[in-house]
A and B are shown apart, each in its own frame.
Chain A
Amino acid sequence: MSLRVLKPGMLSTFQDLGRTGFQHLGVPTAGAMDRRAHQLANLLVGNDMSAATLEMTLTGATIEFDVPCCIAITGANLNPCINDQPAPMNRPLVMRAGDRLSFGSRSFGARTYLAVHGGYTLAPVLASNSTYLRSGIGGFNGRALKKDDQIDLNIPLTNSTLDDLAQDLWNIRIYLPAAITISPRERVRIIKSNQWPDFTPESCAAMLTEAFRISPDSERMGYRLTGPKLSLTQPRQMISEATTFGTIQVPADGQPIVLMADTQTTGGYPKIAYVATVDLPRLAQMAPGDYLKFEAVTLFEAQRRDLARQQAFETLAQTLTPINNLLATHASVTE
């Protein structure tokens, strides 16, 4: 009852909503870069939104299943295939024993999420299945997947009724509300920090008008941006304080760094702004070499949109209960 990794892809790690509650001990939360896609994948297979999914970066993994199960693929479009036939994204799909999931070239985004009904059998570390690579903790043995890794599935499906199940799942209409889809916007919304006025007027103007490029050494810990040099009106001795997913800090070289899911818990650089939580998924789907522009919104506006997305997810979870019911009747009872 497991899946086997035939090809691991560039960077494939298990992630959930993050290892919260330990940041005061210096433990980074890690977690899915694109929480939106992660949550959606889980809902589509009848899981709790906090279950671990497999996050695959830029290139997908090739995976063979030795038991029937139900999967969903969300996030970046890496052209998924099942047994070399194109497979749809954002839908529950039935996999049969021996089926192989693979991915082709990248047509949109940077990170794809794979959820499986019932979840993967992993050993939680500090109450989370998120992989934090720097400390080698969480997920599957604290590391990215390698060829021939074998990961057990918690709830395989029964073999006898798979055709019925596949048809029943296919008949379920899935409508994704606008708050949950990624609209192609050029601008990433930010909230000005309380240190915003410490930057020169030219820097503040550049932040909201100029394009920034995501540099090649950007990864789960942070995106380094190249663009106009941002500077403080006067040098300031910064004292380390808490940082979070979305903090935009500006080191002495004036090139901003957006801290991402694997951010350290504290940092000592001036912070010019914070990316609105609702736009972190958009950022997570950008790749090195992509350009982006920022747009300032109020905290009020940012929180309104974040809450709207949360509520859209809750509503979606309600409308997808037929999936849960279907899968529950097809789950294999193990002794």
Chain B
Amino acid sequence: MSLDFGDDISSVTGRICLRAAAALRSASLPGVIDITPSFNSVALQYTPQAKSKPDSACAFDELSETVRAVLKEGLPELDDHSRVVDIPVCYGGQYGPDLDEVCARTGLTSEQVVKQHTGNLGMVFMLGFAPGLPYIGVHDAVFAIPRRDTPRTAVPAGSVAIANRQTTIYPNLLPGGWHIIGATPLQMFDVNQTPPSRLMPGDQVKFISITPEQYEHLKQHPRPIA
């Protein structure tokens, strides 16, 4: 079941989705096994249960009714649930091979790109594509640059990359078409930790500029996910 809350990518729509997902999660609906928020919708994956009421047509109708009732109760405030997570990033050079191209496309200097990127909090709209891979936004319109024409077949783990006013962080070696502006020394996903993902939907992200020395230091002294 998919609940649609708008047709744009904006923090307003994104927040509503995240609040709806939080409300539905705490309602522990019978048969619902996964609740996946995204930019403008919330998906509920469920196993159809036997009808509890003889007059409802099917499991979908019954679940729809329950979902409506939950959402009518009102949505929890996101701020009560969201955390601010610091993500240290070493920008440019070997860590961010596309920083120069981003400068060329945006008309900003590399200092200005870093200042813009670290200046405001971003929100985690969703995780997808690969375990622990976040979609963080919405950034200033200056970062409204499309993805690379030719995606890379292998982007290193920890790469911090931007496109379409969003940032992503590659949790492991993956193909990718976003512009890599830096790298974080933090491990983003680890199945042996609880929770396995450093970032959760709804988290506020603060990017912090670090030096290559700090990057290497953090790399050697890993910070646990939780």
Q: Is B127 within 8 A of A24, CB to CB?
A: yes
Main secondary structure of the interface of B (DSSP, over half): loop
In the complex, which residues 226-250 of chain A have their Cβ closer than 8 Å to any Cβ of chain B? 239-242, 244
- A300 CA to B189 CA, complexed, in Å: 39
Give the distance to chain B from A10, nearest Cβ to Cβ, in Å. Answer: 24
Q: Is A24 within 8 A of B48, CB to CB?
A: no
Q: Which of B21, B129, B196 contacts A126 (CB 8 A)?
A: B196
Q: Is A240 within 8 A of B34, CB to CB?
A: no
Task: Tell yes or no: A20 within 8 A of B by CB.
Answer: yes
A-B pair count, CB < 8 Å, reads: 108
- A46 CA to B226 CA, complexed, in Å: 39
In the complex, which residues 50-91 of chain A have their Cβ closer than 8 Å to any Cβ of chain B? none
Residues of B in contact with A, size category: 35 or more
* Chain A contact residue count (CB 8 A cutoff): 33
Task: Tell yes or no: A27 within 8 A of B by CB.
Answer: yes
- Nearest to A304 among chain B residues (CB) is B58
**Nearest 8 Cβ contacts at the A-B interface:** A266-B128, A242-B43, A26-B127, A242-B36, A241-B38, A25-B197, A23-B34, A20-B33
A-B contact pairs, 19 of them (CB 8 A): A20-B34, A21-B33, A24-B127, A26-B129, A27-B132, A134-B130, A135-B172, A194-B2, A240-B39, A241-B38, A241-B40, A241-B41, A244-B45, A264-B128, A265-B128, A266-B38, A266-B129, A300-B58, A306-B48
| Interface residues, chain B, with chain A CB atoms under 8 Å away | 2, 7-9, 21, 33-41, 43, 45, 47-48, 50, 57-60, 126-133, 135, 172, 189, 191, 195-197, 200-201
| Interface residues, chain A, with chain B CB atoms under 8 Å away | 20-29, 125-126, 134-135, 137, 194, 239-242, 244, 264-267, 299-300, 303-304, 306-307, 310-311
A25-B196, A303-B59 given; name 15 further pairs at CB < 8 Å: A22-B131, A25-B132, A25-B189, A26-B127, A26-B130, A26-B132, A26-B133, A135-B172, A241-B40, A242-B45, A264-B129, A265-B36, A266-B128, A299-B60, A307-B50
